Chain A
């Protein structure tokens, strides 16, 4: 699957590409309007991460071009502008999501995964990791074929981990994914710890392997290695 990152800040684009690329994804980068236009006209992408302010033109214009060319590429806007107008405009022009800078790469990966799931497997929104499977439409978690009852936050955590398999996810990323309001990292970390502990317990009760590793308090990783 091909992803396109349209971002004029080269270092940011490089980080995004290096984080997202794995056995399933290849990433291409366009750092200005013209490059981006060439790329979207010549190939199809599963998802495009699109910055709004670009040298030589606006990301909004690119959205219009995509629409005019009847392209079905998924689009997530990554913008420094946290303005409702931009958000509404972007979504109206056919973008699937809107992420405000600065963001965590794990958050971007989770959202891109969600967009691709919606686009590609309509009616079959299942993410898997070994014996764990999540039906994101029905919000059902199963270990092998056994359903697992999770709280809303535990469910959100598990989806996030499965969208960032084998990657270290920082505590800060988990906190900002779970709560829009922030109360201070100290306590949030304790709450996250509690949630993850409960999640691991519920999964292992169903005979699931213990895949969530803690990394010296900095973050967590879902891995089977």
Chain B
């Protein structure tokens, strides 16, 4: 959920709750105060009646004036004075009205009377009604105000943040440009912008030094290897070397070859990790596989293998060089681990490429893509599948291994 929506939800909900509680509180408090006030006027009336009886020794006339009514009723004994609320028929308005009534007893010449003083409560109810309406109106108005304030004001307040965010989103380490920020008076955003700028500068610096490190590592390793290789090439020209010498030299040649292949593979891994293959284009997997099979033709026929390329229209958006390396490594892997006269099958289903070759037992699914992991029959560097995995990870493709029906299946989901 967006921060703004979350904020809207909380603020509007809390406003409504507070206003509802306040409205209810208001309602009861007002009702109480107005009732007290009404009771007070009833009491004033009571005192006036009692005064009248004391001085005149007779009952005042029963009256009905506007919304006030005084009635007398004979009774046997004195009564406790009592306030009550009741519905009374109003002959003027021709309807029942909510009223407040005070009953008390008086004694006139030895006779007890119950005096009922009644006042309409209608006016009070009206006030309360109006207040409720105002409260409700306020709730609606405030919610609307909050909603629009959030929509426009908050949106404007967050604009510097959005600018920074989109700048971060489009940030590319391979073409680093300074993070674009917007000047703002909001302290938090300024702090955020400052720190992001500092962080990206540091990251760019680290990345560059890493890149230089790779270049240097490459240079430092390849040059001594080149020296060894060149010395061997000169050394074997010597006609006085005997068969034993030449066999030893062959071992040295092979080791140097292996070492340079290893360092090149490690550099390739580092370069993929460092995102140094940013160039992307649509590549045709069928054609790539076709060319690789052609290139490896001699090894395929040396082992009397058949390789069937049944890949349909399968395209991937990636670096062509990496696409070639990826498919090559998987095909070479299949060739290397096949026995004579077996069949390697390349097929595709929608966006899935599967390379299958027969085998006797499943390989360790969890470790097969680890660097330097080798099956006991492998004489390679142990990096071929690790490189394939790294390439797939780089583009978010899924590389999977499965063993079923005595066949190894390597699948890429593009």
Contact = CB atoms under 8 A, between A and B. Distances in A.
B183 to A, nearest CB: 37
B255 to A, nearest CB: 10
A197 to B, nearest CB: 14
Given A181-B328, A191-B302, A16 B230 contact: yes
B230 A12 contact: yes
Given A15-B231, A101-B223, A219 B295 contact: no
Interface residues of B, number: 44
Contacts of A138: none
Interface stretch (B69-77, B104-112, B256-264, B391-399): B256-264
Given A170-B236, A170-B253, A183-B335, A191 B299 contact: yes
B234 A11 contact: no
Interface in B112-131: none
Contact of A184 (B221, B264, B380): B380
A183 B336 contact: yes
Interface string A1-31: 0000000010110011011000000000000
Contacts of B282: none
A102 B229 contact: yes
Interface stretch (A67-75, A142-150, A210-218): A210-218
B299 A187 contact: yes
Interface in A168-225: 168, 170-173, 176, 179-187, 190-191, 215-219
Interface stretch (A34-42, A76-84, A119-127): A76-84
Interface residues of A, number: 45
Given A167-B237, A184-B380, A12 B223 contact: yes
Interface stretch (B241-249, B307-315, B364-372): B241-249
A81 B218 contact: yes
B231 A11 contact: yes
A83 B227 CA distance: 20
Nearest to A84: B321
A102 to B, nearest CB: 4
Interface of A: 9, 11-12, 15-16, 18-19, 53, 78, 80-84, 100-106, 153, 167-168, 170-173, 176, 179-187, 190-191, 215-219
Complex A-B, nearest 3 residue pairs according to Cβ-Cβ distance, in ascending order: A15-B230, A80-B222, A102-B226
13 contacts: A11-B230, A15-B233, A102-B260, A167-B237, A172-B254, A181-B292, A181-B295, A183-B296, A191-B299, A215-B246, A217-B247, A218-B247, A218-B250
